[in-house]
């Protein structure tokens, strides 16, 4: 009987470790979403482009020319790609349901005469493999995107604004902290639902797997730290918000089940003026809000026009 009990607990322990390892892998090396749409579907001309992150990875993207001499950079969430997210293409582990189309946001910006750069972060879409740091590695991709705009013949003198979603917002904020002087002249930042990973993981696990899933978090956190270099507590843009020099619009759904409103409120409070906060009302999930920004872009466009 004692042996059976020991075997039972050994099996439980092995399963626990295996599940935590898989969970950490999904964070560090997310399943790549295929590119299933292009700007052409919205009637936009575009170029397929490639450029380097500041640590040497090749990143793939699109450049959509605009009528003005002003450029915007749209950065995507985890685990998306430059065009967005399709639920049927998320691999064996189906965690998320709504499709998201970031090209709606790009189209709204392009209709307002801005050029638009969209690209895949490392380990996403068609870009080189890398370890996901939810901003702490990807900020180097953001800097590469800025360098690309500044080195193109037709945009080298363009003012630049960001419209950044979730991990993209985290990455942009981290870039502003780590490369403060290089990004000092960024004209504006629209930060859609940036998040601290510790808050997101806790909220997401409770929402998707009930409170029982919380027992996974400590070991998943340790595994991410061992395998990727950062703990969940480190994966947050909060300490970099004070270094933002661009006027910033934060956007957050009040009913987003995968965060705590105090998290983004902390980012907002730490960000210097000028700044604005758009709380999206209604029954909105996190992914719903990404679509909402593109489908109802008026506030976003008004803010960008005000500063860019």
Q: What per-residue confidence (pLDDT) applies to 213?
A: 78
The token duo for 192 is 């859609």
Helix (H) or strand (E) holding 72: strand 70-75
Q: What are phi and psi of 175, to 5 degrees?
A: -60, -40
Q: What per-residue confidence (pLDDT) applies to 118?
A: 99
Ranges of residues in the chain with a pLDDT under 50 are: none
Q: What per-residue confidence (pLDDT) applies to 93?
A: 60
For the chain, the domain total comes to: 2
Is 201 inside a domain boundary? no
3-state secondary structure 250-279: EEEECCCCCCCHHHHHHHHHHCCCCEEEEE
Q: What per-residue confidence (pLDDT) applies to 99?
A: 93
Q: Angle of helix 197-209 relative to helix 217-228, nearest 10 degrees? A: 140
Claim to verify: residue 43 and residue 73 sit in the same structural domain? yes
Q: What per-residue confidence (pLDDT) applies to 94?
A: 60
Is 246 inside a domain boundary? yes
Claim to verify: residue 3 and residue 48 sit in the same structural domain? no
Task: Count how many Cα atoms sit within 13 Å of the Cα of residue 227 in the half-sphere of its side chain.
Answer: 19
Claim to verify: residue 243 and residue 258 sit in the same structural domain? yes
Is 257 inside a domain boundary? yes
Sheet holding 70-75, edge to edge: 47-52, 58-64, 115-119, 70-75, 159-165, 188-192, 248-253, 275-280
| Residue 14: domain span | 1-30+211-233
Is 126 inside a domain boundary? yes
Claim to verify: residue 49 and residue 98 sit in the same structural domain? yes
Q: What per-residue confidence (pLDDT) applies to 7?
A: 75
């Amino acid at each position: 009987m004692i042996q059976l009990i020991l075997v039972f607990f050994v099996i439980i322990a092995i399963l626990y470790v295996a599940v935590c390892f898989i969970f950490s892998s999904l964070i560090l090396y997310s399943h790549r979403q295929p590119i299933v749409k292009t700007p052409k579907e919205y009637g936009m001309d575009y170029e397929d482009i490639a450029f380097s992150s500041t640590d040497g990875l090749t990143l793939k993207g699109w450049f959509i020319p605009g009528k003005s001499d002003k450029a915007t950079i749209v950065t995507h969430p985890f685990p998306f790609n430059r065009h967005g997210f399709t639920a049927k293409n998320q691999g064996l582990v189906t965690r998320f349901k709504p499709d998201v189309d970031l090209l709606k946001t790009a189209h709204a910006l392009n209709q307002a005469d801005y050029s638009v750069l969209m690209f895949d972060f490392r380990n996403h879409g068609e870009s080189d493999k890398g370890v996901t740091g939810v901003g702490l590695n990807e900020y180097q991709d953001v800097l590469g995107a800025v360098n690309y705009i500044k080195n193109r013949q037709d945009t080298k003198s363009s003012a630049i604004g960001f419209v950044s979603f979730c991990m993209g917002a985290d990455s942009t904020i981290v870039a502003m902290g780590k490369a403060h002087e290089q990004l000092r002249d960024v004209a504006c930042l629209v930060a859609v639902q940036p998040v601290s990973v510790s808050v997101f993981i806790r909220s997401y696990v409770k929402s998707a797997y009930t409170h029982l899933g919380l027992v996974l978090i400590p070991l998943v956190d340790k595994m991410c730290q061992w395998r990727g270099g950062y703990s969940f507590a480190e994966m947050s843009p909060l300490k970099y918000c004070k270094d933002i020099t661009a006027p910033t619009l934060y956007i957050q759904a009040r009913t987003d089940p995968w965060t705590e409103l105090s998290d983004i409120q902390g980012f907002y409070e730490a960000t210097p003026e000028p700044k604005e906060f758009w709380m999206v009302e209604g029954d909105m999930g996190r992914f719903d809000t990404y679509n909402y920004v593109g489908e109802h872009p008026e506030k976003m466009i008004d803010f960008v026009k005000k500063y860019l």
